[in-house]
Chain A
Amino acid sequence: MRPSRPISAKSCIHRRDFLASGAALALVTSGHRSNAQSSKTGTVRVWGEPGPYGGVAVAAMNEWAQKNAPGLKFEIETIPWDGVYVKLMTDLAARRPPGLISVESPIAMQLMAEGLLEPLDDVSQTVGRDRLADKLKWEYFGAWTSKQYIMPAHHQPHLLLVRTDISKELGLSDPDGWSWNDLANAARTITQKKPEMAGICMALGRNLCTDYHFAALLHQAGGKMFDQRNKFEVAFDSPETAEALEFVRELQQFMPKGAVEYSFLQVVDAHVTGKTAMSFYWGRTLGRAAEEAKPIFEATEAFNHARNPRTTRRSNWNDFQGWCIPARNNPFVEEAKQALTYYLKSTPWLVKYCHSLMPNVAPVFKDQAESAELRNHPFYQSKARTVDTYFNTSLEHASSTANELLQGVNPFAGIVHGRSILAQTVQKVMIDKMSPRDAAKWGARELDSVRKENIQLVN
């Protein structure tokens, strides 16, 4: 921190003046954290998921560093989705954490409950707690024991992507009005009438993507992994789980044969290369199709998921992704806080973040969401409805494994995903030909062992 006026060694300073100056200096330091200078040097490692948006945020942080910490450089390190859990856990365990992490909400919430993160209440106050966009709450991103540990980065729902050229050609109805039965019938019709194309594609491999895809169906059926309102007792062994598994089994016959090993990338590939007419996915598919397969991009629209015929729920799996700062063995906690504050207070940088891969990362702050600059993107002309579905209307159906049916934070979800328990449950039915009821029982046993081993996280 630079003093407000130069102090000459030769100046005659009275004791009272000196104390007053010191007090003023202390006040200035505490009140204007984002302007504080840092003399630290080195590289602040920032972990983010694959995609250009993490790089945009880091560019903003480097802008802060140039002004306030010339010896520091923020550097993005991309962690592949299927490796994120292992990478995070092993590096944290090895006491070599990054300075700042942008990670999916289930894992962030596990880290939060483990006590591995720095509380960010001060950052949230400075950024502005009233700035959050409508239908979003701070707790969705990560609050625990009345403290905010995770700052919003974006929200990111997976939806139903439909090739409208195919659906029109085959005379299918508007996907926005579909129930599960309509979805299955549409997939069947496409499979029968388009021999070179699968009707629908979702991930069925033993991976994180399958966990997320299946979780949405589970929540649509009204099922849950844990009951947050009852001491996190396992609620997975239920008719709802069996119903969701049964539905996946029904859909599998209309999927690419290789779907049992598909993860994130393969589902995008299948859609972008025209191997499937429908898929469950986040906005990334459209971003890639716009670059690689223009006709498929033009024909694809996103819809909120088909309704479960019994519950009428259209739940998606929405990643309320946030920024968190490891508390232990992190030499750059203060600098990460200040750089993050600088970035999150800058609407232009937040808009650039969304623009970097439209419509994959949805805005989370009002000024960001309402910015005229955000609408200054070609997708707002060519895909206005789809963008609005990803950014706004999907929030009505938001759910997540880290906050099931938005009934409360679930710190076990990260551990569940680390072990791919949902995906393994799905594979018990798809590969081992176990009955959905028995698979639900198997999954419930696994979830129960997660609960028992980690009960201290919720006590």
Chain B
Amino acid sequence: MLIDTGAGRGSPTPLPASRSSARRWFPELSDNTVGLLFIAPFIVTGLFFMVYPVIEAVRMAFFSYNPLRPEVTRYVGLANFQFILSDPLFWDAFLQGTVWTLLSILFQTLLGVSIALLLNRTLPGIAVFRGLLLFPYIVPTVVIALIWRWIFNPEIGVVNYALIATRLVDTPIYWLSTPDMAMASTILLNVWKYTPFVVICVLARLQSVPQELYDAARVDGAGAFRRFLDVTLPQLREVLIVVVVFRTIWTFNKFEEIYLLTKGGPGTSTFNLAVYSFEQSIASLKLGVGAATGVVMMVMLLIGSIVYLRVSGFGREEAGA
């Protein structure tokens, strides 16, 4: 393929035989065409693995489909949506998923910003510490969930051992056996695993904040807290908006952490909509109902994200400029 960059036009030189032969077969391509060719693999992959499944899920949401009986697949209109919207477990899962998402995001944001502020200093060995901080984020969720099941084990878990050894509690805490504690445990796991993501994003932004702003604030007599409120937070605003949107979408859709840690239990107390969809699709073999749940989740997140971005004023500055 020949890439015509436009350079060297004033001094034409004869092309080697192989290149002229190539030109015969491949016409000269514009920059746009070359660019499109470069992103084509991603577009094709995206269409196949992202767009097609979404379209298929939307289509399936209107069908009754049991994979063991494909011959009796039939169009059911809105029946799958009516089923989930009249199912109390769907609404329980929605509420529990909302609580799990909001609390996880709240703690991740607070801790993430705090840790990023601490790490935004030049101390010996800080680079190593920043690297270690990524550990929970890079370890596979399956491994983490299994380890945490041991950590939370009421009889032999290290958490109870530490609490009893330090006499903070007298009897073992049953972390995953009561609805409230199980919800708290799943939130704790999510916060532990994903806070590093917030730290990295916030830290990157903090390091690009001009020092002059802080110096000017100091000259004006602003203390540390005032500088945080008036200089740091406004600078972090855009990145926090993006982080919160992404973390909300990812957490609301999260399946594996809850399923591996509690399977949605005890009872259905830690069901979220992703677990509900899985149970409907796989345990009950109602793939249409599972797909309808996925479609509803997609619409909820789309509306939530648009409203949040509008309210937070994301991108307003650029638009104004």
Name A's B-contacting residues (CB within 8 A). Answer: 85-86, 89-90, 92-94, 114, 116, 205-207, 257-261, 273, 275, 418-420, 424, 427-428, 431-432
In the complex, what residues of B have CB within 8 A of residue A431's CB?
A: 179, 266-267, 269
Residue in A90, A206, A432 with the greatest tally of chain B CB atoms within 10 Å: A206
CA distance A86 to B278 in the complex (A): 10
Q: Which single residue of chain A is at the shortest CB-CB distance from B269?
A: A431
Q: Which single residue of chain A is at the shortest CB-CB distance from B286?
A: A453
CA distance A164 to B285 in the complex (A): 45
Q: Which single residue of chain B is at the shortest CB-CB distance from A259?
A: B177
> Contacts A89-B68, A114-B69, A275-B155 hold; do A427 and B284 have CB atoms under 8 A apart?
no
CA distance A275 to B282 in the complex (A): 35
The answer to whether B282 touches A206 (Cβ under 8 A) is no
The answer to whether B283 touches A206 (Cβ under 8 A) is no
CA distance A191 to B264 in the complex (A): 30
* B136: Cβ under 8 A from any A Cβ: no
Q: Which of B176, B177, B266 contacts A206 (CB 8 A)?
A: B266
Shortest beta-carbon distance from A84 to chain B in Å: 12
Q: Which of A93, A259, A273, A432 contacts B267 (CB 8 A)?
A: A432
> Contacts A257-B177, A261-B177 hold; do A427 and B283 have CB atoms under 8 A apart?
no
> Contacts A89-B282, A257-B174, A261-B177 hold; do A427 and B266 have CB atoms under 8 A apart?
yes
In the complex, what residues of B have CB within 8 A of residue A90's CB?
A: 67, 282
The answer to whether A93 touches B265 (Cβ under 8 A) is no
> Contacts A86-B283, A419-B284 hold; do A258 and B154 have CB atoms under 8 A apart?
yes
Residue in A85, A261, A273 with the greatest tally of chain B CB atoms within 10 Å: A261
The answer to whether A428 touches B267 (Cβ under 8 A) is yes
> Contacts A93-B68, A114-B68, A275-B155 hold; do A261 and B283 have CB atoms under 8 A apart?
no
* B263: Cβ under 8 A from any A Cβ: yes
- 22 A-B interface contacts by CB (under 8 A): A86-B283, A90-B67, A90-B282, A92-B67, A93-B68, A94-B67, A206-B263, A206-B264, A206-B266, A206-B267, A206-B268, A258-B177, A260-B265, A261-B265, A273-B155, A275-B155, A418-B285, A419-B283, A419-B284, A420-B283, A424-B268, A428-B267
CA distance A93 to B279 in the complex (A): 16
The answer to whether A92 touches B283 (Cβ under 8 A) is no
Q: Which of A85, A116, A260, A273 contacts B266 (CB 8 A)?
A: A260
The answer to whether B285 touches A89 (Cβ under 8 A) is yes
The answer to whether B67 touches A93 (Cβ under 8 A) is yes
Shortest beta-carbon distance from A110 to chain B in Å: 9
Contact residues of B between 256 and 273, Cβ < 8 Å to A: 262-269
In the complex, what residues of A have CB within 8 A of residue B262's CB?
A: 261
The answer to whether B176 touches A261 (Cβ under 8 A) is yes
CA distance A93 to B67 in the complex (A): 5
In the complex, what residues of A have CB within 8 A of residue B178's CB?
A: 260
Residue in A114, A418, A431 with the greatest tally of chain B CB atoms within 10 Å: A431
Chain A contact residues: helix, strand, loop or mixed: helix
In the complex, what residues of B have CB within 8 A of residue A428's CB?
A: 267
Q: Which of B68, B174, B284 contacts A116 (CB 8 A)?
A: B68
Q: Which single residue of chain A is at the shortest CB-CB distance from B176?
A: A261
Q: Which of A89, A206, A259, A273 contacts B265 (CB 8 A)?
A: A206
CA distance A260 to B284 in the complex (A): 22
Shortest beta-carbon distance from B193 to chain A in Å: 21
Shortest beta-carbon distance from A442 to chain B in Å: 10
The answer to whether A261 touches B266 (Cβ under 8 A) is yes
In the complex, what residues of B have CB within 8 A of residue A259's CB?
A: 177
Question: Considering the complex of A and B, which 8 residue pairs feature the smallest CB-CB distances, nearest first?
Answer: A93-B67, A431-B267, A427-B267, A258-B177, A260-B266, A206-B265, A257-B174, A261-B177
In the complex, what residues of A have CB within 8 A of residue B174's CB?
A: 257-258
CA distance A205 to B265 in the complex (A): 8
Q: Which single residue of chain B is at the shortest CB-CB distance from A87?
A: B282
CA distance A268 to B281 in the complex (A): 31
CA distance A85 to B284 in the complex (A): 10
CA distance A257 to B105 in the complex (A): 31
CA distance A404 to B69 in the complex (A): 26
Shortest beta-carbon distance from A87 to chain B in Å: 10
Q: Which single residue of chain A is at the shortest CB-CB distance from B175?
A: A258
Shortest beta-carbon distance from A218 to chain B in Å: 19
Q: Which single residue of chain A is at the shortest CB-CB distance from B154?
A: A258
Q: Which single residue of chain A is at the shortest CB-CB distance from B172?
A: A257
Shortest beta-carbon distance from A17 to chain B in Å: 49
The answer to whether A418 touches B266 (Cβ under 8 A) is no
Q: Which single residue of chain A is at the shortest CB-CB distance from B182?
A: A261
With A89-B67, A205-B266 known, 20 other A-B pairs at CB within 8 A are: A85-B283, A89-B285, A92-B68, A93-B67, A114-B68, A206-B264, A206-B266, A207-B263, A259-B177, A260-B265, A261-B265, A261-B266, A273-B155, A418-B283, A419-B283, A424-B267, A427-B267, A431-B266, A431-B269, A432-B267
In the complex, what residues of A have CB within 8 A of residue B285's CB?
A: 89, 93, 418
CA distance A431 to B154 in the complex (A): 18
Q: Which single residue of chain A is at the shortest CB-CB distance from B173?
A: A257
Chain B 275-299, CB-CB to A under 8 Å as 1, else 0, gives 0000100111100000000000000
CA distance A314 to B41 in the complex (A): 65
Q: Which single residue of chain A is at the shortest CB-CB distance from B285?
A: A89
Residue in A92, A259, A260 with the greatest tally of chain B CB atoms within 10 Å: A260
The answer to whether B177 touches A260 (Cβ under 8 A) is yes
CA distance A116 to B155 in the complex (A): 44
Shortest beta-carbon distance from A272 to chain B in Å: 13
The answer to whether B267 touches A418 (Cβ under 8 A) is no
Q: Which single residue of chain A is at the shortest CB-CB distance from B171?
A: A257
Shortest beta-carbon distance from B283 to chain A in Å: 5
CA distance A86 to B68 in the complex (A): 12
In the complex, what residues of A have CB within 8 A of residue B268's CB?
A: 206, 424
CA distance A205 to B262 in the complex (A): 10
In the complex, what residues of A have CB within 8 A of residue B67's CB?
A: 89-90, 92-94
In the complex, what residues of A have CB within 8 A of residue B68's CB?
A: 89, 92-93, 114, 116
Chain B 244-266, CB-CB to A under 8 Å as 1, else 0, gives 00000000000000000011111
Shortest beta-carbon distance from B90 to chain A in Å: 15
Q: Which of A86, A257, A432 contacts B154 (CB 8 A)?
A: A257
Shortest beta-carbon distance from A354 to chain B in Å: 33
In the complex, what residues of B have CB within 8 A of residue A257's CB?
A: 154, 172, 174, 177
Q: Which single residue of chain B is at the shortest CB-CB distance from A92?
A: B68
Residue in B67, B176, B267, B282 with the greatest tally of chain A CB atoms within 10 Å: B267
Contact residues of B between 103 and 150, Cβ < 8 Å to A: none
CA distance A281 to B134 in the complex (A): 44
CA distance A420 to B279 in the complex (A): 10
Chain B 57-78, CB-CB to A under 8 Å as 1, else 0, gives 0000000000111000000000
CA distance A431 to B265 in the complex (A): 10
